[in-house]
Structure 1
């Protein structure tokens, strides 16, 4: 069996299946980070915010238990690099938060909506992908690398190999790294669980509780898929590699850069060096998973732009999300779930920027 199916194929198809489930569950539960922030800011309602926080807690505890038992090495992920470009993460996150608010949804939400029949989301995703690609390799990338990325803290100068909170705690306290990891999980992970479940109304909403747990476990499963199943010896080079990931290391769900890589694959389809990666497979999976749910429940509806003003606003939001998501090294899913689940300092900075940008924009819209 292992000879018949390559690790790269397992990673790609496994990523598709996990994202398919993610898209279906996100559609069913109306999982939306922007919506969660909006509910709190505009109505003082914490239901969807608790759902998001529960997903974070499950992903964080699960991913770090895999790391604790040596099943994956989170220190190899892009989120844990000792170079901390804090300005890029803060500014990128802030711009992403603005973009997702004026576009009425983040990248994941637009993928889910596309599966439900929203042609408006298709246009948003195309412009988001163009903006993200320009930030990776084009004009926007020049601005990012020239003005934002150089403003960084080299944590290796302080004797740190990663930017993980447990490693920082170990450095400061002298605790063994595994003890520091468990201590961090108790404080943050269990703290989130206590906050989430202290609300009786949320505890009674089984759809949101189960949906959040499933979404969090999907983040964990993606880490295991790319970091364990997809980690092995390349038969051509005899090097130990991570198969079928764009970052060439272990990944979990994230949608801004993969959306750009998906567009690149479509444009350069005849280029034999191009391959479907884990990230590209997850983009397709979310759309089709959402579509499957929408069709099965007869909620699939074609949707377009309400007006020219709506079109203009959505496109501005898409461009901001593309630039901001790449600059911050992730979106509400890439940093808000996957990145934060690694306990990386930069992920918390990016998440702060995202929420701050969203809240500021909502306050401005209210005025």
Structure 2
């Protein structure tokens, strides 16, 4: 069933490329330019996913699996990942789909993202992750919508039915999304369409992934780690690793179809060094935080996971700080 990752990734890659979906840009643009176009996409997709995940779980099609809470890892890793995405010129998903567009800086950022994540997860820095795991917090979930033991959520914190806090959370996001003015922007795929398609894809991705034994939804970091492991040890490609291949192929096909594929190189070669450093920081930060902008922000927050909410906040703060250092001063 791992092959379903290729289909999910292919669709994911098309949506990312056509919608120009990059969370680095979403966070940075609203801070530097007061441009909320991509942030509206982000809040809309989170609202929809929250409802869709709860519905799929209610129907028994998926079982939600919030990431463990780790205050130190979520905060520190979130900040470092935020720093890295600005230096790399893209978030985990943005960098991945741009590999398929022919952006050479994304190639280097992605390779070093994979290296940084693998070193931290199972290489020279794995001792750090092992030590950090001592601070993981999980709780017993009484709701059948969740696995029996996983990270705490807004529902467990307030001791209410997940639907109650989920709907309140979604409504708050929808109020911001539609009650505030949106920065105009020309795009092949509008932000509403891109958000809706991502939100529809997300629960089906969870179903497909869970069928292979990986009880989680869309992800990026584990996929890049899986590709490195397969290339170096010959191990079988995981669902998430095959998803990465699908994203790149989907973005490539989309870019070719829209005549947007082009080998692009920076004017200043030093940019390659910057994106490599950014990739390493993203890889280290993602593993330290327990997830990237896809694993935590796009997939984890809609499960109402406290860990993902904290990591998401610090992704944004780290992004803003590095954007201020590089462009805002």
Q: What TM-score, normalized by structure 1, do the two folds share?
A: 0.81
Provide Cα deviations, 1:186-239, integer angstroms capped at 9, x if missing partner: 210122122212246479987211111101221111112233xx1xxxxxxxxx
Q: 1:162-177 counterparts in 2 under 5 A?
A: 162=150, 163-170=152-159, 175=160
- 1:25 paired residue among 15, 23, 26: 15
2:85–2:279: 8 Å Cα contact kept in structure 1? yes
Provide Cα deviations, 1:246-295, integer angstroms capped at 9, x if missing partner: xx4312111112101112112223xxxx2222101110011011000110
Q: Is 1:149 the equivalent of 2:130?
A: no
- 1:120 paired residue among 105, 111, 116: 105
Distance 2:149 2:92 in 1: 31
Provide Cα deviations, 1:161-193, integer angstroms capped at 9, x if missing partner: 4412212322xxxx5xxxx21111121012212
Q: Which residue of 1 aligns with 2:194?
A: 211
2:222–2:241: 8 Å Cα contact kept in structure 1? no
Q: Is 1:104 the equivalent of 2:89?
A: yes
Q: Which residue of 1 aligns with 2:323?
A: 362
Distance 2:80 2:67 in 1: 22
Q: From the superposition, tell whether residues 35 and 155 of structure 1 become closer, same or farther in structure 2 (CA, over 3 Å).
A: same
Q: CA deviation at 1:358?
A: 0.3
Secondary structure, in 3 states, of the residue corresponding to 1:150?
helix
1:328–1:350: 8 Å Cα contact kept in structure 2? yes
1:80–1:342: 8 Å Cα contact kept in structure 2? no
Query: What is the CA RMSD across the aligned residues, in angstroms?
Result: 2.1
Q: CA deviation at 1:306?
A: 3.1
Q: From the superposition, tell whether residues 195 and 280 of structure 1 become closer, same or farther in structure 2 (CA, over 3 Å).
A: same
Q: CA deviation at 1:46?
A: 1.0
Secondary structure, in 3 states, of the residue corresponding to 1:167?
helix
Q: Which residue of 2 aligns with 1:298?
A: 259
Q: Which residue of 1 aligns with 2:75?
A: 90
Distance 2:222 2:209 in 1: 17
Q: Is 1:52 the equivalent of 2:42?
A: yes
Q: Is 1:38 the equivalent of 2:28?
A: yes
Q: From the superposition, tell whether residues 314 and 200 of structure 1 become closer, same or farther in structure 2 (CA, over 3 Å).
A: closer
2:226–2:237: 8 Å Cα contact kept in structure 1? no
Unmatched 5+ stretches in structure 1: 1-8, 231-242
Distance 2:134 2:52 in 1: 33
Q: Is 1:330 the equivalent of 2:315?
A: no
Provide Cα deviations, 1:1-50, integer angstroms capped at 9, x if missing partner: xxxxxxxx2xx222211211111111111111110111111111111100
Q: Which residue of 2 aligns with 1:192?
A: 173
Structure whose alpha-carbon radius of gyration is higher: 1
Q: Which residue of 2 aligns with 1:255?
A: 220
Distance 1:69 1:155 in 2: 23
